[in-house]
Structure 1
């Protein structure tokens, strides 16, 4: 969660809006208040956010860091997509349709990879819900990191299966979608692991979005595969 989200203001908020938001939240969370949400730790977080955003110079530097973080994330995923496209262009040039039957590829490559992707993606929301009961509970965090470890294992297994056989040209679109989906999952796992180290909701949100994108891409592959049934 970035400082703007902490103060519940937009990134283009004026200094007056930032001050008003800060005062409103301080009243709500101050330990001396009678409000049920009184929280000393949150006051510390609010103070840190306000100290940066209330100062024009510090806010400018902070905004540049946010832009840099966003641009780096976008560029990283763009490069992965470019590499994926290059990989499959090369692969299609090298493959021979007679190396194995189309049915065999669907059975031995597509289905196992598709199932592994589902086993990675679908437990995420349940894992997040369980962890949200107490982010700072060691046992809950251990269960979440164990889930991420299992994601790593399944991701590597899926990548190995996908590259174990050249895909027939008729299934190039399915294979490309699987590859893009695995790339998004890899990026998503990295973001979720950063969250377990920093407790920054930005990484949790980004990881979840990447998994959602991977799910959409995987479904595209599924719809393509159904046309051949």
Structure 2
């Protein structure tokens, strides 16, 4: 810290960092959830004994999902920089972080969605089949409604994991709360910056977890 300043972080810097974190979180979660639900549905429906049993498709998709999930986010972020640049036209900034964040969270959500769908009692699927429901109808009208409580918890868990990943987005100059903590709290020994960013992330995570748990209890079918 310089002179008599007790922190280098100004309110504008804090609000900008918070906005960047929320933007990365919101956009990546939206795209990641769409892709993740599709991935999870295909994995659940094409597995052995599934409504659309297809071993080759399931094996290939499961392998791709497992490969992406095996990579630490920081390595994934750097590895797909050419793809990121091709997709959004830049390799720095918020949008350059949103691409790898989406790629990271989609397979994670996919596995969580798959597990949620597999928790639905087999009798529900059998009842749907006996009524002549198509595979799409079984998924949309039976599996999703029955699993929605578990799905909400899955998205909640993924959201918290996504917040952790945004802290590493500074590698591509995306900013955010995590970058503020590293650039000022750690590198410049600004204690207040570290405290305020940690408190912000804790409050954000707790708010998301409590909201997700409340929604899951509301929609969970007994």
TM-score, normalised by the number of residues in structure 1 = 0.38
TM-score, normalised by the number of residues in structure 2 = 0.39
